[in-house]
Amino acid sequence: MHTGKGDAAKRAKTRRRIPVAIDASDISCGFEVGNDFERFSQIDDVFARSRYDPVVHSERSELFFSTYRKPLTEWRAAKGFQQNDYAFRNATWHVADVFAEMHESRDRRDGFLDPLSMLRDGASEQVDLGTPTAAAAMIKHAARTAGADLVGVTAYDHRWTYTERFSVKASGAKPNDLPDGLNHVIVIGQAMDATLIETSPSALSGAATGMGYSQDAVVLLTIAQYLRNLGYQAVPSMNDTALAVPYAIQAGLGEYGKHGLVITPEFGTSVRFGKIFTDAPLAHDRPISFGVKEMCEICSACVTGCPSKAIPDGAPTAERHNRSNLQGVTKWSIDGEKCFSYWTKINNDCSICVRVCPFTRDYTSAKNRLWLRLAGSPLRRLALWLDRREGRGARRQAATWWPSPSE
Ligand code: SF4
Ligand code: SF4
Protein backbone atom coordinates (compact mmCIF):
# COMPACT_ATOMS: atom_id res chain seq x y z
CA MET A 1 0.00 0.00 0.00
CA HIS A 2 1.33 3.44 -0.84
CA THR A 3 1.78 5.93 1.94
CA GLY A 4 1.93 9.72 2.04
CA LYS A 5 4.87 11.92 2.91
CA GLY A 6 3.99 12.20 6.63
CA ASP A 7 3.97 8.44 7.12
CA ALA A 8 7.10 8.16 5.03
CA ALA A 9 8.95 10.61 7.24
CA LYS A 10 8.00 8.61 10.38
CA ARG A 11 8.99 5.30 8.84
CA ALA A 12 12.20 6.82 7.57
CA LYS A 13 13.13 7.91 11.11
CA THR A 14 12.75 4.36 12.40
CA ARG A 15 14.27 2.55 9.45
CA ARG A 16 17.10 4.75 8.25
CA ARG A 17 19.18 5.02 11.37
CA ILE A 18 21.44 2.01 11.42
CA PRO A 19 24.68 2.07 13.36
CA VAL A 20 27.62 1.61 11.06
CA ALA A 21 31.26 1.06 11.76
CA ILE A 22 33.64 3.30 9.81
CA ASP A 23 34.93 1.13 7.04
CA ALA A 24 38.47 1.74 5.78
CA SER A 25 37.41 0.57 2.32
CA ASP A 26 34.85 3.42 2.21
CA ILE A 27 37.60 5.94 2.86
CA SER A 28 39.55 4.55 -0.07
CA CYS A 29 36.35 5.02 -2.13
CA GLY A 30 36.30 8.76 -1.38
CA PHE A 31 33.58 8.77 1.25
CA GLU A 32 33.55 8.17 4.97
CA VAL A 33 30.35 6.83 6.50
CA GLY A 34 29.83 8.08 10.05
CA ASN A 35 27.80 6.80 12.97
CA ASP A 36 25.04 9.32 12.20
CA PHE A 37 24.54 7.83 8.73
CA GLU A 38 20.97 7.54 7.50
CA ARG A 39 19.89 5.68 4.41
CA PHE A 40 18.49 7.86 1.65
CA SER A 41 14.82 7.98 0.72
CA GLN A 42 13.98 8.54 -2.93
CA ILE A 43 11.30 11.04 -1.90
CA ASP A 44 14.23 13.35 -1.05
CA ASP A 45 15.73 13.01 -4.51
CA VAL A 46 15.64 16.38 -6.26
CA PHE A 47 13.74 14.97 -9.26
CA ALA A 48 11.10 13.44 -6.99
CA ARG A 49 10.91 16.72 -5.07
CA SER A 50 10.39 18.60 -8.33
CA ARG A 51 6.95 16.95 -8.44
CA TYR A 52 5.68 18.00 -5.03
CA ASP A 53 8.08 20.18 -3.04
CA PRO A 54 7.51 23.95 -3.57
CA VAL A 55 11.21 24.53 -2.87
CA VAL A 56 12.00 22.69 -6.12
CA HIS A 57 8.68 22.54 -7.99
CA SER A 58 7.84 25.64 -10.05
CA GLU A 59 6.34 26.72 -13.36
CA ARG A 60 9.87 26.52 -14.73
CA SER A 61 10.29 22.90 -13.62
CA GLU A 62 6.92 22.05 -15.25
CA LEU A 63 8.14 23.70 -18.44
CA PHE A 64 11.48 21.86 -18.21
CA PHE A 65 9.77 18.45 -18.19
CA SER A 66 7.26 19.45 -20.87
CA THR A 67 10.07 20.21 -23.35
CA TYR A 68 10.69 16.46 -23.47
CA ARG A 69 7.18 15.94 -24.84
CA LYS A 70 6.63 18.77 -27.33
CA PRO A 71 9.00 18.30 -30.25
CA LEU A 72 7.38 20.96 -32.43
CA THR A 73 8.17 23.82 -30.10
CA GLU A 74 11.33 25.91 -30.19
CA TRP A 75 12.09 26.44 -26.53
CA ARG A 76 14.93 28.93 -26.55
CA ALA A 77 16.09 31.43 -29.13
CA ALA A 78 19.69 30.29 -28.82
CA LYS A 79 21.98 28.13 -30.91
CA GLY A 80 21.91 24.53 -29.75
CA PHE A 81 18.37 24.95 -28.38
CA GLN A 82 16.47 24.86 -31.63
CA GLN A 83 13.76 22.52 -32.81
CA ASN A 84 16.13 20.08 -34.47
CA ASP A 85 18.28 19.89 -31.32
CA TYR A 86 15.26 19.15 -29.13
CA ALA A 87 13.86 16.73 -31.70
CA PHE A 88 17.07 14.67 -31.55
CA ARG A 89 17.45 14.96 -27.78
CA ASN A 90 13.91 13.73 -27.22
CA ALA A 91 14.39 10.89 -29.69
CA THR A 92 17.44 9.64 -27.78
CA TRP A 93 15.27 9.41 -24.66
CA HIS A 94 12.60 7.46 -26.51
CA VAL A 95 13.64 3.90 -25.55
CA ALA A 96 14.12 4.81 -21.87
CA ASP A 97 10.77 6.66 -21.96
CA VAL A 98 8.93 3.67 -23.44
CA PHE A 99 9.96 1.55 -20.44
CA ALA A 100 9.28 4.37 -17.97
CA GLU A 101 5.77 5.03 -19.29
CA MET A 102 4.74 1.43 -19.99
CA HIS A 103 3.27 0.81 -16.53
CA GLU A 104 2.39 4.32 -15.39
CA SER A 105 -1.21 3.22 -14.80
CA ARG A 106 0.19 0.89 -12.12
CA ASP A 107 2.16 3.75 -10.55
CA ARG A 108 5.45 2.46 -11.91
CA ARG A 109 8.16 4.36 -13.77
CA ASP A 110 10.54 1.61 -14.81
CA GLY A 111 14.19 2.60 -14.70
CA PHE A 112 13.60 5.80 -12.73
CA LEU A 113 11.38 4.96 -9.74
CA ASP A 114 11.06 1.18 -10.18
CA PRO A 115 13.33 -1.54 -11.57
CA LEU A 116 13.03 -2.45 -15.25
CA SER A 117 10.37 -5.14 -15.29
CA MET A 118 9.97 -6.28 -18.91
CA LEU A 119 11.50 -9.72 -18.26
CA ARG A 120 10.39 -13.27 -18.98
CA ASP A 121 10.46 -16.10 -16.47
CA GLY A 122 13.83 -17.80 -16.45
CA ALA A 123 14.98 -21.40 -16.04
CA SER A 124 13.57 -23.31 -13.07
CA GLU A 125 16.98 -24.84 -12.27
CA GLN A 126 20.24 -23.02 -11.79
CA VAL A 127 23.09 -23.71 -14.21
CA ASP A 128 26.46 -24.31 -12.53
CA LEU A 129 28.54 -21.25 -13.46
CA GLY A 130 31.85 -22.69 -12.23
CA THR A 131 34.03 -20.64 -9.92
CA PRO A 132 32.92 -17.09 -9.00
CA THR A 133 35.86 -15.78 -11.03
CA ALA A 134 34.83 -17.75 -14.11
CA ALA A 135 31.19 -16.73 -13.64
CA ALA A 136 32.10 -13.04 -13.37
CA ALA A 137 34.28 -13.27 -16.50
CA MET A 138 31.41 -14.88 -18.42
CA ILE A 139 28.87 -12.23 -17.35
CA LYS A 140 31.28 -9.38 -18.13
CA HIS A 141 31.98 -10.84 -21.58
CA ALA A 142 28.26 -11.09 -22.29
CA ALA A 143 27.63 -7.56 -21.00
CA ARG A 144 30.35 -6.02 -23.15
CA THR A 145 29.06 -7.89 -26.17
CA ALA A 146 25.55 -6.59 -25.43
CA GLY A 147 26.89 -3.02 -25.49
CA ALA A 148 28.25 -2.23 -22.02
CA ASP A 149 31.32 0.01 -22.08
CA LEU A 150 32.32 -0.82 -18.50
CA VAL A 151 31.38 -3.73 -16.21
CA GLY A 152 32.31 -4.37 -12.58
CA VAL A 153 30.96 -6.53 -9.78
CA THR A 154 30.68 -5.80 -6.08
CA ALA A 155 28.85 -7.02 -2.98
CA TYR A 156 25.31 -5.90 -2.16
CA ASP A 157 25.55 -3.06 0.38
CA HIS A 158 22.31 -2.33 2.22
CA ARG A 159 23.42 1.22 3.03
CA TRP A 160 22.88 2.34 -0.57
CA THR A 161 19.35 0.93 -0.91
CA TYR A 162 16.63 3.61 -0.73
CA THR A 163 14.44 3.36 2.36
CA GLU A 164 11.45 4.01 0.07
CA ARG A 165 10.74 4.56 -3.59
CA PHE A 166 8.92 7.67 -4.78
CA SER A 167 5.29 7.15 -5.80
CA VAL A 168 3.98 9.60 -8.40
CA LYS A 169 0.38 8.64 -7.55
CA ALA A 170 0.78 9.25 -3.81
CA SER A 171 3.22 12.12 -4.31
CA GLY A 172 5.07 10.46 -1.46
CA ALA A 173 6.64 7.16 -0.51
CA LYS A 174 5.96 3.57 -1.49
CA PRO A 175 7.85 0.45 -0.35
CA ASN A 176 11.17 -0.41 -1.93
CA ASP A 177 10.91 -4.17 -2.17
CA LEU A 178 14.02 -6.00 -3.25
CA PRO A 179 14.01 -9.83 -2.95
CA ASP A 180 16.28 -11.36 -0.30
CA GLY A 181 19.49 -13.10 -1.27
CA LEU A 182 20.62 -10.74 -4.03
CA ASN A 183 24.11 -10.53 -2.62
CA HIS A 184 25.94 -9.40 -5.73
CA VAL A 185 25.66 -6.25 -7.83
CA ILE A 186 26.81 -6.00 -11.43
CA VAL A 187 27.53 -2.38 -12.32
CA ILE A 188 27.30 -1.40 -15.99
CA GLY A 189 28.79 1.82 -17.41
CA GLN A 190 27.65 3.45 -20.67
CA ALA A 191 29.97 6.08 -22.15
CA MET A 192 28.24 9.25 -23.25
CA ASP A 193 28.99 10.73 -26.66
CA ALA A 194 31.96 13.05 -26.19
CA THR A 195 31.16 15.29 -29.16
CA LEU A 196 27.68 16.01 -27.77
CA ILE A 197 29.01 16.67 -24.26
CA GLU A 198 31.40 19.25 -25.77
CA THR A 199 28.36 21.37 -26.72
CA SER A 200 27.04 21.59 -23.14
CA PRO A 201 25.04 23.55 -22.23
CA SER A 202 22.73 22.88 -25.17
CA ALA A 203 19.66 20.79 -25.89
CA LEU A 204 21.96 18.82 -28.14
CA SER A 205 24.18 17.81 -25.21
CA GLY A 206 21.06 16.34 -23.58
CA ALA A 207 21.10 13.77 -26.38
CA ALA A 208 24.23 12.27 -24.77
CA THR A 209 22.28 11.80 -21.55
CA GLY A 210 19.23 10.35 -23.32
CA MET A 211 21.33 7.86 -25.29
CA GLY A 212 23.14 6.87 -22.09
CA TYR A 213 19.83 5.96 -20.44
CA SER A 214 18.33 4.25 -23.49
CA GLN A 215 21.43 2.15 -24.11
CA ASP A 216 21.69 1.36 -20.42
CA ALA A 217 18.11 0.03 -20.41
CA VAL A 218 18.83 -2.32 -23.32
CA VAL A 219 22.03 -3.73 -21.78
CA LEU A 220 20.54 -4.09 -18.28
CA LEU A 221 17.48 -5.93 -19.59
CA THR A 222 19.61 -8.20 -21.80
CA ILE A 223 21.97 -9.24 -19.00
CA ALA A 224 19.19 -9.58 -16.42
CA GLN A 225 17.29 -11.88 -18.81
CA TYR A 226 20.51 -13.83 -19.45
CA LEU A 227 20.94 -14.41 -15.71
CA ARG A 228 17.30 -15.47 -15.42
CA ASN A 229 17.74 -17.87 -18.33
CA LEU A 230 20.58 -19.42 -16.29
CA GLY A 231 18.20 -19.89 -13.35
CA TYR A 232 19.28 -16.92 -11.21
CA GLN A 233 17.39 -13.93 -9.90
CA ALA A 234 18.23 -10.58 -11.47
CA VAL A 235 16.76 -7.12 -10.85
CA PRO A 236 17.89 -4.51 -13.41
CA SER A 237 17.99 -0.97 -12.04
CA MET A 238 18.84 2.48 -13.40
CA ASN A 239 18.01 5.44 -11.08
CA ASP A 240 15.57 3.40 -8.98
CA THR A 241 16.12 1.22 -5.89
CA ALA A 242 19.62 2.31 -4.80
CA LEU A 243 22.36 4.87 -5.25
CA ALA A 244 24.56 4.05 -8.24
CA VAL A 245 27.66 6.15 -7.47
CA PRO A 246 28.95 4.18 -4.43
CA TYR A 247 28.34 0.89 -6.25
CA ALA A 248 30.30 2.04 -9.31
CA ILE A 249 33.21 3.00 -7.07
CA GLN A 250 33.07 -0.18 -5.00
CA ALA A 251 32.95 -2.21 -8.23
CA GLY A 252 36.26 -0.65 -9.28
CA LEU A 253 34.94 1.35 -12.22
CA GLY A 254 36.25 4.74 -11.10
CA GLU A 255 37.01 7.23 -8.36
CA TYR A 256 34.81 9.85 -6.75
CA GLY A 257 35.26 13.46 -7.93
CA LYS A 258 34.61 16.86 -6.40
CA HIS A 259 31.60 17.31 -8.73
CA GLY A 260 29.88 14.34 -7.05
CA LEU A 261 30.32 12.06 -10.06
CA VAL A 262 32.44 9.00 -10.78
CA ILE A 263 35.58 9.55 -12.85
CA THR A 264 36.70 6.51 -14.85
CA PRO A 265 40.13 5.90 -16.44
CA GLU A 266 38.43 5.04 -19.76
CA PHE A 267 35.99 7.94 -20.26
CA GLY A 268 36.61 10.37 -17.43
CA THR A 269 33.28 11.63 -16.12
CA SER A 270 31.35 11.06 -19.31
CA VAL A 271 29.61 7.82 -18.20
CA ARG A 272 26.19 6.72 -16.94
CA PHE A 273 25.78 3.78 -14.58
CA GLY A 274 23.16 1.08 -14.15
CA LYS A 275 23.18 -1.97 -11.90
CA ILE A 276 21.79 -5.49 -11.64
CA PHE A 277 21.11 -7.12 -8.27
CA THR A 278 21.56 -10.88 -8.51
CA ASP A 279 22.05 -14.07 -6.52
CA ALA A 280 24.43 -15.52 -9.14
CA PRO A 281 27.70 -16.23 -7.31
CA LEU A 282 30.18 -13.77 -8.84
CA ALA A 283 33.71 -12.72 -7.84
CA HIS A 284 33.95 -9.09 -6.76
CA ASP A 285 36.20 -6.35 -8.08
CA ARG A 286 38.07 -3.92 -5.86
CA PRO A 287 38.05 -0.11 -5.76
CA ILE A 288 40.72 1.55 -7.87
CA SER A 289 42.83 4.63 -7.36
CA PHE A 290 44.50 6.51 -10.23
CA GLY A 291 45.04 9.96 -8.79
CA VAL A 292 41.57 11.52 -8.96
CA LYS A 293 41.37 12.48 -5.29
CA GLU A 294 44.79 14.12 -5.44
CA MET A 295 43.87 15.94 -8.67
CA CYS A 296 40.58 17.20 -7.20
CA GLU A 297 42.58 18.65 -4.30
CA ILE A 298 44.43 21.00 -6.67
CA CYS A 299 41.82 21.49 -9.41
CA SER A 300 38.62 23.52 -9.35
CA ALA A 301 37.56 23.46 -13.00
CA CYS A 302 34.09 22.13 -12.15
CA VAL A 303 33.69 24.63 -9.29
CA THR A 304 34.41 27.64 -11.48
CA GLY A 305 32.64 26.15 -14.52
CA CYS A 306 29.37 25.46 -12.73
CA PRO A 307 26.94 28.27 -13.66
CA SER A 308 24.74 27.71 -10.60
CA LYS A 309 27.56 27.62 -8.03
CA ALA A 310 26.34 24.19 -6.98
CA ILE A 311 29.82 22.69 -6.49
CA PRO A 312 31.67 23.96 -3.42
CA ASP A 313 35.43 24.03 -3.27
CA GLY A 314 37.42 22.77 -0.32
CA ALA A 315 37.82 19.51 1.55
CA PRO A 316 35.16 16.80 1.80
CA THR A 317 32.64 17.50 4.55
CA ALA A 318 29.60 15.86 6.17
CA GLU A 319 27.65 19.12 5.84
CA ARG A 320 24.41 18.83 3.85
CA HIS A 321 23.24 21.61 1.53
CA ASN A 322 19.64 20.42 1.84
CA ARG A 323 17.57 17.25 2.25
CA SER A 324 18.67 15.92 -1.14
CA ASN A 325 22.15 15.22 0.27
CA LEU A 326 23.11 12.04 2.12
CA GLN A 327 23.14 12.28 5.91
CA GLY A 328 26.23 11.12 7.79
CA VAL A 329 28.73 10.76 4.96
CA THR A 330 31.89 12.85 4.73
CA LYS A 331 32.51 13.51 1.05
CA TRP A 332 32.36 16.17 -1.63
CA SER A 333 28.70 17.02 -2.19
CA ILE A 334 26.94 19.26 -4.67
CA ASP A 335 23.83 21.35 -4.07
CA GLY A 336 21.20 19.52 -6.12
CA GLU A 337 18.64 22.29 -5.69
CA LYS A 338 20.94 24.85 -7.31
CA CYS A 339 21.95 22.40 -10.02
CA PHE A 340 18.36 21.49 -10.95
CA SER A 341 17.32 25.14 -10.82
CA TYR A 342 19.85 25.86 -13.57
CA TRP A 343 18.49 22.96 -15.65
CA THR A 344 15.04 24.52 -15.50
CA LYS A 345 16.48 27.84 -16.66
CA ILE A 346 17.99 26.34 -19.81
CA ASN A 347 15.24 23.75 -20.44
CA ASN A 348 17.78 20.96 -20.58
CA ASP A 349 20.06 18.97 -18.34
CA CYS A 350 23.52 20.47 -17.96
CA SER A 351 26.83 18.62 -18.38
CA ILE A 352 29.26 21.51 -17.96
CA CYS A 353 31.00 19.83 -15.00
CA VAL A 354 31.45 16.72 -17.16
CA ARG A 355 32.83 18.78 -20.07
CA VAL A 356 35.34 20.85 -18.11
CA CYS A 357 36.74 18.03 -15.95
CA PRO A 358 40.31 17.40 -17.17
CA PHE A 359 39.77 13.63 -16.97
CA THR A 360 37.04 13.81 -19.64
CA ARG A 361 39.07 13.11 -22.76
CA ASP A 362 39.42 10.54 -25.52
CA TYR A 363 41.67 7.78 -24.19
CA THR A 364 41.92 6.03 -27.54
CA SER A 365 44.56 8.70 -28.16
CA ALA A 366 48.08 7.79 -26.95
CA LYS A 367 48.65 11.43 -25.99
CA ASN A 368 45.69 11.37 -23.64
CA ARG A 369 46.74 8.04 -22.12
CA LEU A 370 50.10 9.62 -21.42
CA TRP A 371 48.31 12.60 -19.85
CA LEU A 372 46.42 10.21 -17.55
CA ARG A 373 49.69 8.74 -16.33
CA LEU A 374 51.02 12.22 -15.67
CA ALA A 375 47.81 13.16 -13.83
CA GLY A 376 48.24 10.16 -11.53
CA SER A 377 51.87 11.00 -10.76
CA PRO A 378 53.48 13.64 -8.52
CA LEU A 379 53.59 15.78 -11.69
CA ARG A 380 49.81 16.27 -11.61
CA ARG A 381 50.15 20.06 -11.48
CA LEU A 382 51.94 19.87 -14.82
CA ALA A 383 49.09 17.69 -16.14
CA LEU A 384 46.59 20.31 -15.02
CA TRP A 385 48.61 23.11 -16.58
CA LEU A 386 48.82 21.18 -19.87
CA ASP A 387 45.06 20.59 -19.77
CA ARG A 388 44.40 24.32 -19.48
CA ARG A 389 47.01 25.20 -22.06
CA GLU A 390 45.61 22.88 -24.72
CA GLY A 391 42.12 24.34 -24.22
CA ARG A 392 40.46 20.95 -23.79
CA GLY A 393 37.00 21.29 -22.29
CA ALA A 394 36.12 24.49 -24.13
CA ARG A 395 32.51 24.69 -25.23
CA ARG A 396 31.88 23.70 -28.82
CA GLN A 397 29.24 25.64 -30.75
CA ALA A 398 26.31 23.26 -31.13
CA ALA A 399 25.77 24.38 -34.73
CA THR A 400 29.15 22.87 -35.67
CA TRP A 401 28.01 19.44 -34.45
CA TRP A 402 25.50 19.10 -37.29
CA PRO A 403 26.91 18.64 -40.81
CA SER A 404 26.95 21.86 -42.79
CA PRO A 405 24.53 21.99 -45.77
CA SER A 406 27.46 21.59 -48.19
CA GLU A 407 28.67 18.31 -46.65
S1 SF4 B 1 25.30 19.78 -14.02
FE2 SF4 B 1 25.74 21.96 -14.44
S3 SF4 B 1 24.61 23.06 -12.87
FE4 SF4 B 1 24.76 20.93 -12.18
S5 SF4 B 1 26.60 20.80 -10.91
FE6 SF4 B 1 27.24 20.27 -12.99
S7 SF4 B 1 27.89 22.23 -13.89
FE8 SF4 B 1 26.69 22.73 -12.07
S1 SF4 C 1 36.96 19.24 -12.63
FE2 SF4 C 1 38.78 19.04 -11.35
S3 SF4 C 1 38.01 19.25 -9.26
FE4 SF4 C 1 36.25 18.85 -10.55
S5 SF4 C 1 35.98 16.63 -10.48
FE6 SF4 C 1 37.26 17.04 -12.26
S7 SF4 C 1 39.37 16.87 -11.51
FE8 SF4 C 1 38.04 17.04 -9.70
The lowest-confidence range among 21-35, 162-176, 334-348 is 21-35
The pLDDT of residue 20: 38
pLDDT of 42 above 60: yes
The pLDDT of residue 17: 36
Pocket of ligand 1 (CB under 6 A): 259, 306-308, 310-311, 334, 339, 342, 350, 352-353
Q: Which residues pair with 52 in a beta bridge?
A: none
Q: Which atom of ligand 2 lies nearest, measured to the CA of 301? A: 1
Binding site membership of 296 for ligand 2 (Cβ less than 6 Å): yes
Q: Which atom of ligand 1 lies nearest, measured to the CA of 342? A: 3
* Residue nearest (by alpha carbon) to ligand 2 atom 6: 357
Identify which ligand lies nearest to the alpha carbon of 334. Answer: 1
The string of pLDDT tens digits covering residues 235-286 is 999 999 999 999 999 999 999 999 999 999 999 999 999 999 999 999 999 9
- What are the extents of the domains in the chain? 22-399
Contact criterion met (CB below 8 Å) for 33 and 253: no
DSSP letter string over 281-301?
--PPP----SSHHHHHHH--H
Of 31, 120, 46, the C-alpha closest to 316 is 31
Contact criterion met (CB below 8 Å) for 189 and 148: yes
The pLDDT of residue 70: 77
The better pLDDT of the pair 267, 10 is held by 267
Enclosing H/E stretch for 232: none
Identify which ligand lies nearest to the alpha carbon of 311. Answer: 1
For residue 157, how far is its CA from the centre of ligand 2 (angstroms)?
Answer: 27
pLDDT of 8 above 50: no
User: Across the chain, what does the average pLDDT equal?
Assistant: 91
- Please report which confidence band the pLDDT of residue 78 belongs to, taking 50, 70 and 90 as the band edges: confident
The pLDDT of residue 405: 74
pLDDT of 188 above 70: yes
Contact criterion met (CB below 8 Å) for 150 and 219: no
Binding site membership of 300 for ligand 2 (Cβ less than 6 Å): yes
Whether the model pTM is above 0.85 = yes
Q: Is 406 exposed, middle or buried (0-12, 13-18, 19+ CB in 10 A)?
A: exposed
